[in-house]
A and B are shown apart, each in its own frame.
Chain A
Amino acid sequence: MAQVIIRSLNKKFEEVHAVKDVNLDIRDKEFVVLVGPSGCGKTTTLRMVAGLESITSGRILIDDKVINDLPPMDRDIAMVFQNYALYPHMSVYDNMGFGLRMRKFDRGDIARRVQEAAEILGIQELLKRKPRQLSGGQRQRVALGRAIVRHPRVFLFDEPLSNLDAKLRVQMRVELKKLHDRLGTTAIYVTHDQVEAMTLGDRVVVMRDGVVQQVGEPLELYNEPANRFVAGFLGSPSMNFATVKVNQDNGAIWAANEGIRIKAPPGCANRLSRYVGKEVTLGIRPEDLHVASAADPAELGFHVVVEVVERLGSEILLDVAVGPDTMVASVEPSVRASVHDRIRLALNPERLHFFDMQSEAAI
C-alpha cells in the first residue's frame, strides 16, 4: 500500500517538452486516472513513474522515498500494457509466475499466488495455454493476473482496455473496478477515453499538451470544469459552446448573441460583471437544455431550429441551430419534434458555464 507523490515533474525529448511541471498527490489505495487526448503526456508521466523513461527534472516519491534513480525492478510496481505484452513463448502460468521467479520466490509460493490470482480473474483453466491461444479478453486477464500476483505497492495501467471491442471493454471496466475495490492497491490508470476516466477514477487528472488542466473527483470535474478544455473533454455528447457578449441592462447582466439572449443568474452575475462589454464563451451541457414550457421564465429561453433528431430510446438528441451556432440538446424521449421545427429551448440557470475568451479559464 503506498502513496505516490509527483513534484514539478518535467520530461523533455529532443525537441518536445512532453510533460510540463506536473504535481500530483496520489493517496494510498486511490485509483487515479490520467486522461487526455493523444500526445498530452499522460503515458510519458506513467512511464516515468514506472522507471521506463528518464526524468528530466522533478521528483517522484513512493511512500516518501524518492525513486527517481531506482531501476523499474526495485520500485515494487506492476504495469499492464496496452498490447498486453505477454511473453509469447511462455505458458499463462509462467507468464504470471515470471515476476515471482525473478524475485526468487520458492515454487510453492509461486504456485499458490498464481492459483489465487487465477481464481480472482477466473482463468484457472487457461494456465497451461500459450498467449496466442487466448482471446483478447483472456489475454487482458492474464496481463492483469501477472500484475496482481506480485502484490505490488502501485498498479500502473497504460490504456489496458483500448485493444478490446466495445462490449468487452465495458465488461472489463466493471471488473477492474471490482478488482480495485477488492485489492485496494494504489493505481494509476492512463486512458484517452473519458467514460473510462469518469467511471473508474476516484480522482481524475485531465492533461493537455503536457500540462495538468484539472485534478478532482469525476463529478467535480464534470460540474465545475476549470477551463473550456476540461468542460469540452468530459461528457458525451460534449458541452455546447457559444460566443456571447456580456451586457448590462436594467441592473441585470445579460449574455447575448444573434440567437441567444439570456439573463445571467445571480450566482454568475457578480463574476460576469467584470466582462461587461466583452465577449465570453458560454458553455451548456446537452442535458441542461430542455424544451421550454410555460413555467420557464422568458429570460432563460431561446428559439432554435431543429436540424437532426437522434432517438436513442432513453433520450432524444436534438441537433439545433441557434443563430450562427449549432448545439446539441438531450431531451425527454416523449418530446415530439421533427426536422425544421422551430422550438423554444430553456436552460437550467444553475448549470451555466462561462469561460474567458483568451485564457479559456472558467469565470
Chain B
Amino acid sequence: MIEGASWRRWVFFYIPLTAFIIGLLFPFYWMLVTTVRPDSELYRPWNAPNYTPFWTMHPTLEHIRDLLTETLFGTWMFNTMVISISATAISLFCGLLAGYALSRLKFPFAGSLGTMIFITYLVPQTLLFIPLADIIRNFKLGDSPWALILTYPTFLIPFCTWLMMGYFKSIPKELEECARIDGAPRWKAMVYIIFPIAVPGILSAGIFAFTLSWNEFIYALVFLSSPDQKTVPVGVTSELVRGDVFYWGELMAGALLGSIPVAFVYSFFVEHYVASLTGSVKG
C-alpha cells in the first residue's frame, strides 16, 4: 500500500487503477452495448439530436437471434470447441511428457534440445502458415478440422513444454527419489507423485493452450474455406462482413458469445491457476 497523505493514495493508486480498469473493460462494455442496440440506433449519425453512443434506451436481443438463426454460428462454436479441445489435449499430453523429460532426465543435449523447442515457438505464425499450407494440401487435410487440430500443436507443444518444464523444476526432486526408493518405477513416480503435484501447472498450460487455439485466426483463415467448417473468429469476421457492409450488431453478438467459453474456463480454474503462478509446492 502507498504510505502517507491520502491525496498520494488517490494520485498514485486509485486514479491510475480506475483508469486502467476502465481502459481494460471498455471494449467489452462496447461489445455488450452494441449487441443489444437496435439497428435504428446503431446507424444513427453522430450529429443526430438523440445520439447516445454509450448506452441504449431500447435494448433488443434481435442481433443474437439473427446470429443464431441466420448464420452458422452454432456450427462454428461446435467446430471451435472440437478443434480447441483436441489440439489442447494433444499439446498438453506431449508437453507434459517432453517437459518432464527435459527437466528431470539426464541425456545428451537435453539443454540444447530445450532451447531448440523454444526457438520453434518464436517462429511467427504469419511465416509458418506458408509451408504448413503446402503440407496441409499434400496430405489433403484442407478444409477439415484436422487441418487445425494437427497444426495448432506446432505452437502449443513448445509453449506447454516450456511451461511444464519450469513447473517440474520447481518440484523438489527428493519427492521423486523417495518414491523410487519406496518402490515405484519412474513412470509410477511420475504418475502418482509428480503429476498430481503439478496439477496447477498442467491447468495453466491447458487454459493457455485452450485460449490460444480458441482465438487463433490466421491458420483457421488460411486452411478452412467452406462456411460450415469455420471457427468462430474466422466465421464471424468473414461471414458478417460483406464487402463494405458491417453487420455490427451480429459481429458484436458473435464476439460476445464467442468469448463466453474462454471466460468460463478461466473463472472455473482461476483458483488453481493463481496457485500455480504463486508456486504452491510445500514440503
Contact surface of A with B, Cβ cutoff 8 Å? 50-52, 71-73, 75, 77-79, 81-89, 98-99, 102-103, 131-132, 139, 146, 150
Q: How far is the CA of A13 from the CA of B182 in the complex (A)?
A: 26
**Pair count A-B, CB < 8 A:** 73
Enumerate chain B residues within 8 angstroms of A71, measured Cβ to Cβ. Answer: 180, 185
Q: Interface centre among B182, B196, B281, by most A CB within 10 Å?
A: B182
Q: Can you report 5 A-B residue pairs in the complex whose CB atoms are below 8 A from each other?
A: A52-B177, A78-B181, A87-B179, A88-B283, A103-B183
In addition to A87-B197, A98-B184, A102-B184, 11 A-B residue pairs with Cβ atoms within 8 Å of each other are A52-B177, A71-B185, A72-B177, A72-B181, A78-B181, A83-B174, A85-B172, A88-B283, A99-B182, A131-B283, A132-B282
* CB-based contact A83/B183 at 8 Å: no
Given known A-B contacts A71-B185, A102-B183, A131-B283, A87 and B175 have beta carbons under 8 A apart: yes
* CB-based contact A81/B178 at 8 Å: yes
Across the two chains, which residue of chain A brings its CB closest to B282?
Answer: A132
Contact surface of B with A, Cβ cutoff 8 Å? 172, 174-175, 177-185, 188, 192-193, 196-197, 281-283
Q: How far is the CB of A53 from chain B (nearest CB, A)?
A: 10
Q: How far is the CB of A102 from chain B (nearest CB, A)?
A: 4
Enumerate chain A residues within 8 angstroms of B177, measured Cβ to Cβ. Answer: 50, 52, 72, 79, 81, 85
Across the two chains, which residue of chain B brings its CB closest to A143?
Answer: B178
Across the two chains, which residue of chain B brings its CB closest to A47?
Answer: B177
The one of A51, A98, A150 that contacts B179, using a Cβ cutoff of 8 Å: A98
Q: How far is the CA of A50 from the CA of B281 in the complex (A)?
A: 25
Identify the 4 closest CB pairs spanning chains A and B, nearest first: A99-B182, A102-B183, A85-B174, A85-B178
Q: How far is the CA of A228 from the CA of B119 in the complex (A)?
A: 55
* CB-based contact A79/B181 at 8 Å: yes
Q: How far is the CB of B187 from chain A (nearest CB, A)?
A: 12
* CB-based contact A146/B182 at 8 Å: yes
The one of A81, A131, A132 that contacts B174, using a Cβ cutoff of 8 Å: A81
Across the two chains, which residue of chain A brings its CB closest to B186?
Answer: A71
* CB-based contact B181/A86 at 8 Å: no
Q: How far is the CA of A9 from the CA of B175 in the complex (A)?
A: 26
* CB-based contact B178/A79 at 8 Å: yes
* CB-based contact B172/A83 at 8 Å: yes
Given known A-B contacts A79-B178, A88-B197, A73 and B184 have beta carbons under 8 A apart: yes
